[in-house]
């Protein structure tokens, strides 16, 4: 179902010539549903890449094809944030970027998501009580920055899957390079934390 639902989006993006680096044209199609993550092998996923590792990123691991108890489909994302008393920053996070490793320095990058009004996703904690300081869309700076920004948080996760929404009403979404992000800290998670993400999409 997911594969067929987004095939038109994939064709539109391919026609726009979106590349993994360098100077790339922004997608021109007015996208009403756009997937950040569905399943690890789903062709509708992957246009935003989890390449922006921030803070104490050496204490973080991400598995994009975790097969145990996904919200839907066959896989979900597993994030492990380990406690390290010697950590320099005391916080960490990951940004899903377009294209990969783009910190606002890639001219012409970004996806026009102005036809959408929210980002929805599902999340759960390993045990419940895990605290994520923020979930975010946009906000990347640099010479060619995101056109808008919105976030929610802090969010305390339950052990069961729950839906979350970032409201994008009134935001400028014509040029989005930071499609999704999270950050957490050791103040809220003294022993570190493990949490899961699934079905991340703009709609």
Give the CATH number, domain containing residue 73. Answer: 2.60.120.430
Domain count, the chain: 1
> Per residue in 69-120, pLDDT tens?
999 999 999 999 999 988 999 999 999 999 999 999 999 999 999 999 999 9
- Residue 47 in contact with residue 95, Cβ under 8 Å? no
Distance of CA 23 to the CA centre of its chain: 22
Residue 143, classified by CB atoms within 10 Å of its CB into exposed (0-12), middle (13-18) or buried (19+), is exposed
Rounded distance between C-alpha atoms, residue 65 and residue 77, angstroms: 6
Structural domain that includes position 157: 2-202
> Per residue in 136-168, pLDDT tens?
999 999 999 999 999 999 999 999 999 999 999
Nearest Cα to Cα of residue 179 among 151, 143, 144:
151
């Amino acid at each position: 179902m997911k594969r067929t639902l987004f095939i038109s989006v994939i064709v539109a993006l391919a026609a726009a010539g979106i590349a993994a680096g360098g100077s790339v044209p922004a997608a021109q199609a007015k996208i009403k549903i756009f997937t950040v993550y569905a399943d690890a092998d789903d062709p509708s996923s992957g246009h935003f890449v989890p390449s922006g590792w921030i803070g104490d990123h050496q204490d973080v691991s991400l598995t994009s094809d975790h097969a145990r108890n996904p919200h839907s489909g066959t896989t979900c994302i597993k994030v492990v944030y380990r406690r390290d008393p010697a950590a320099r920053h005391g916080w960490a996070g990951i940004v899903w970027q377009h294209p990969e490793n783009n910190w606002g320095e890639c001219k012409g990058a970004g996806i026009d998501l102005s036809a959408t009004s929210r980002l929805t996703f599902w999340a759960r904690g390993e045990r419940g009580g895990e605290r994520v300081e923020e979930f975010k869309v946009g906000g990347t700076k640099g010479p060619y920055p995101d056109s808008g920004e919105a976030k929610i948080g802090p969010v305390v996760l339950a052990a069961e899957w729950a839906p979350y929404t970032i409201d994008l009403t009134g935001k400028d979404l014509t040029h989005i390079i930071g499609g999704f992000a999270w950050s957490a800290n050791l103040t809220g998670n003294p022993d570190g934390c493990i949490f899961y993400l699934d079905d991340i999409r703009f709609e």
